Amino acid sequence: MKTFWLYGNLGLGLLALGTGLSVAAFLTSFFLAFLTLCVGHSVGLHRGIIHKTYATSRLLRWTFALLFAFSGLGGPLSWLKVHYTRDYWQNRADCPRFFRYDHGLLTDYHWNMHCRFVPAQLELYGLPSEDTEDPLLRFLERSWMLFPVALMALLAWQFGWAFAGVTCCLRVTAGILGHWFVGYVSHKIGYVRYAVDGASSEGRNVFFLGVISFGEGFHNNHHAYPASARMGVKWYELDLGWWVVRALEVLGLVHDVVAWHRPGFAAKAAAKAVDPRFIFRDPDQRVG
């Protein structure tokens, strides 16, 4: 199904690109990519729902989850499961091949785009029941495909098929391929600032990909500080997702933001590490 979803979107997206391309379609694509990938995926699902680096209202949490559904990347609970499983194994020496990233680009592409990952012992990874039992996340897990499709139908009706193909199919394809590519490269190439003791994969920081992936490509920083809402560490590591978190904080929409540079971070990170809802290892190893 996911393979069909990817190549279906790619085919329709390229077709749309060939039949008509406008500045408006490209600008709309970037705006939708920012809303769905930066706000929905990076800030909402990854930093918020998965790592719980800030607190927010249920309404905003659900808004983030909805924006994520429009990204066309997949179901939020599937993503949650893969993330918890991956963090668990990458922080251990006996990490299986899939998460250790010793393999090449094409193998990784094949595995990620054409296979389905099913964790055998889900209970091992300590997924919080507040997430797995969340009614909206459960609903979106089953229905996520309908959201980008509905948006495409709406935009096609209003602005034509070419516009809808570029702003939906091509954007979804770019999101899927971009997320996969950033994930692969940020475990293979790039600079390592922090050694994470005992880990089989500590991630790497990739400057260019970090900037265009809203901070996600500063992946070694994220392995070192998974409890931090801020992924950039140096001034030049432009972390757009962090600026969204800051803007939401200033507006009073998120609170109790945990970030590596703020006072008391080590204590807060350690407090999270012993919380049974979180699966991180020795807290001392998590503060760089």
Residue 193 phi/psi, 5° resolution?
-95, -35
CA gap 168, 150 in Å, rounded = 10
**Least gap, CB of 47 to Zn ion (angstroms):** 8
Residue 218 phi/psi, 5° resolution?
-90, 65
CA gap 27, 18 in Å, rounded = 17
**Least gap, CB of 202 to Zn ion (angstroms):** 8
- 54 backbone φψ class: left, alpha, beta (φ>0; ψ -120 to 50): beta
Contact 202, 192 (CB under 8 A): yes
**Least gap, CB of 262 to Zn ion (angstroms):** 19
Q: Which residue is nearest to Zn ion (CB)?
A: 203
Nearer of residues 176 and 279 to Zn ion, judged by Cβ: 279
Close Cβ partners of 18 (under 8 Å, ≥ 6 residues apart): none
**Least gap, CB of 278 to Zn ion (angstroms):** 12
Nearer of residues 32 and 108 to Zn ion, judged by Cβ: 108
- Exposure of 174 by Cβ count < 10 A (0-12 exposed, 13-18 middle, 19+ buried)? middle
Name the nearest CA neighbour of 84 among 120, 55, 122, 29. Answer: 122
Contact 178, 272 (CB under 8 A): no
Name the nearest CA neighbour of 277 among 40, 51, 44. Answer: 51
**Least gap, CB of 244 to Zn ion (angstroms):** 16
Nearer of residues 83 and 246 to Zn ion, judged by Cβ: 83
Nearer of residues 16 and 77 to Zn ion, judged by Cβ: 77
Nearer of residues 71 and 167 to Zn ion, judged by Cβ: 71
Q: Which residues bind Zn ion (CB under 5 A)?
A: 203
Nearer of residues 203 and 217 to Zn ion, judged by Cβ: 203
Structure tokens, 28: 């709309």
**Least gap, CB of 166 to Zn ion (angstroms):** 30
Nearer of residues 13 and 203 to Zn ion, judged by Cβ: 203
**Least gap, CB of 143 to Zn ion (angstroms):** 25
Structure tokens, 33: 């990519």
